[in-house]
Amino acid sequence: MNENFIFVPLIIHLAAATIMLFAWGRIKFQRWFAILSNAAALIVASALFGMVWNQGIVTVQSGGWKPPFGITMVADTLAASLVLLTSIVGLAVSIFAAGTIIPQRVKYGFFPILQILFLGLCGAFLTGDLFSLYVWFEIIIISSFVLLTIGGEKMQLEGAVNYFTLNMLSSLIFLTAIAIIYGITGTLNMADVAMKLPLVEHPHLVEVTAIFFLAGFGTKAAIFPFYFWLPSSYHTPPDAVSAVFGGLLTKMGVYAIIRVFSLLYADNALISEIITIAAGCTILAGGAAALVQNNLRRLFSYLIICHIGFMIAGIGIGSVLAITGVIFYLFHDIIVKTNLFMVAGLTHRMTGTSSIRDLGGIYDKYPMLALLMAVPLFSLVGIPPLSGFWPKIGLISAGFTDHKWIISGLIILGSFFTLIAIAKLWAEVFWKPSKEIYARPNFTFWNKLGVKRKLLYLVPIGFLAALSLFIGLGAGVIEPVAERVALELSDTMIYVNAVFKTKQ
């Protein structure tokens, strides 16, 4: 297949967004067209993944300028699989959104913006150039702002203020780092930078850029102590939006950390140390806070933080086994977290509340749905052999083999926190007898919904639940992918050679 194929996912998203902008305000069309275009994107993404899986790393030069002069697009196994996951989530969420996003929001461009968010994510995964990574990040940020605020409810706006401030700050820090990198290496192509950075006369400058990158990406990934924007904003927008955010945005930060630090700062003991410490604090902060939450979606938000800690910890450990764990966890987390927030939406639809105190009785009222919802919940805990369990083996045993006892211990502790948090949640939300539910003006409860609306809830949840079951039971299929990614990342030259089309 032609290497230009890398562009196709991007083109599809952008074209879809443009078309939907032309069809401004036409609700029905936008709903269906969004689902359609995301289905198309999924097909293309799978093709791209297949291409990479068979041919190895694929790269393409925009404008045909040979690297490092043009902007390089690089589809290695990591990028390709993440693009694939993005479009999976994209399809699920666009279906969910079609059922849950109210007409006013659709009228004001919800779906085109969502599409552009996916565009930004795919671009950021695929780009091989530092500055355009920044640009893609800005696309993600601005479209997430819009999705966060669209509708302008009080909660939304207040959450948006925190979200906006800390993310803006982080991207300015990030931009500063890029500028310094250009100042000391005179290039922006990541592979090229990777070659030139070791030659810089002032190594401490290089480390400063590393710190700035860590702060910049760390904020997006919500690691300690940069995560505060997340718990104060993720529970404010519509569920579909929270689902995308919870599933993909923070993982974007994790991806950036993996990419940049495996490429530019490999073998830097100090940096790995800092990362590991940050990871430990993140696990503790997220896990501990998760145990004392009363709002379902905020509980999930803290669990996101806790589990980001797992992945960062793996990056800190850095052995192939650890990275395999991280990648596997990344795959699992993207699917499951997205599903969690959709489940939260479903429970809200059933009971009209997100407060754990008032929730209840779902187990008795909707046993089959409870079973369905149990899948993501217990996958998240990592009840073996569900998806959350496998990567922990990689992470913990990697910690043991490298004698990183503390971080392994913290990962175990974090898993314990998660177990308790979810078990409590199950007892409260599903087992506890339900409170009296009052009818509300302009709020239709689940049992009043039509079949079509119900399907728009259940299809995506079922789809992702099935996927996470597959990741868990078919771990033997996922592990080789994660391992291949880890091996590709373990040696900088693999990436560099792929970009410059040189053979070792």
Residues from 207 through 226 that contact another protein (CB under 8 A): 207-208, 210-212, 215, 219, 225-226
Cβ distance to another protein smaller for residue 49 or 389: 389
Residue showing tokens 């754990």: 356
Q: Determine which residue in the list 355, 435, 466, 493 makes contact with another protein, applying CB under 8 A.
A: 355
Q: For the CB of residue 141, give the shortest distance to another protein in the complex, in Å.
A: 7
- Per the CB < 8 A criterion, the answer to whether 452 and 362 are in contact is no
Torsion of CA 347, 349, 355, 361, to 10 degrees: -50
For the chain, the maximum distance between any two Cα atoms, rounded to a whole number of angstroms, is 70
Residue 200 within binding range of another protein, rule CB under 8 A: yes
Residue 438 within binding range of another protein, rule CB under 8 A: no
Instruction: Tell me which stretch binds another protein (CB under 8 A): 34-42, 86-94, 146-154, 246-254.
Output: 146-154
Quote the crossing angle between the two packed helices 389-401 and 405-425, to the nearest 10°. Answer: 160
Residues 450-489 that bind another protein (CB under 8 A): 475-476, 478-479, 483, 486, 489
Q: For the CB of residue 350, give the shortest distance to another protein in the complex, in Å.
A: 13
Both structure tokens of 259 = 């990419």
Q: For the CB of residue 423, give the shortest distance to another protein in the complex, in Å.
A: 5
Q: For the CB of residue 280, give the shortest distance to another protein in the complex, in Å.
A: 14
Q: Whole-angstrom Cα distance, residue 347 to residue 363?
A: 11
Q: Whole-angstrom Cα distance, residue 256 to residue 258?
A: 5
Residue 291 within binding range of another protein, rule CB under 8 A: yes
Residue 39 within binding range of another protein, rule CB under 8 A: no
Instruction: Tell me which stretch binds another protein (CB under 8 A): 27-35, 84-92, 185-193, 458-466.
Output: 185-193
Torsion of CA 430, 432, 433, 435, to 10 degrees: -90
Q: Position 229: which residue type?
A: W
Instruction: Tell me which stretch binds another protein (CB under 8 A): 29-37, 240-248, 311-319, 496-504.
Output: 311-319
Residue 116 within binding range of another protein, rule CB under 8 A: yes
Q: For the CB of residue 262, give the shortest distance to another protein in the complex, in Å.
A: 6
Residue 146 within binding range of another protein, rule CB under 8 A: yes
Cβ distance to another protein smaller for residue 49 or 329: 329
Q: Position 158: which residue type?
A: E
Residue 242 within binding range of another protein, rule CB under 8 A: no
375: Cβ contacts below 8 Å, ≥ 6 apart: 339, 386, 465, 468, 469
Q: Position 492: which residue type?
A: T
Helix (H) or strand (E) holding 75: strand 72-75
Residue 402 within binding range of another protein, rule CB under 8 A: yes
48: Cβ contacts below 8 Å, ≥ 6 apart: 5, 6, 8, 9, 75, 80, 83, 84
Cβ distance to another protein smaller for residue 49 or 229: 229
Q: For the CB of residue 144, give the shortest distance to another protein in the complex, in Å.
A: 10
Residue 172 within binding range of another protein, rule CB under 8 A: yes
Closest-CA residue to 95 (of 377, 464, 445, 374): 464
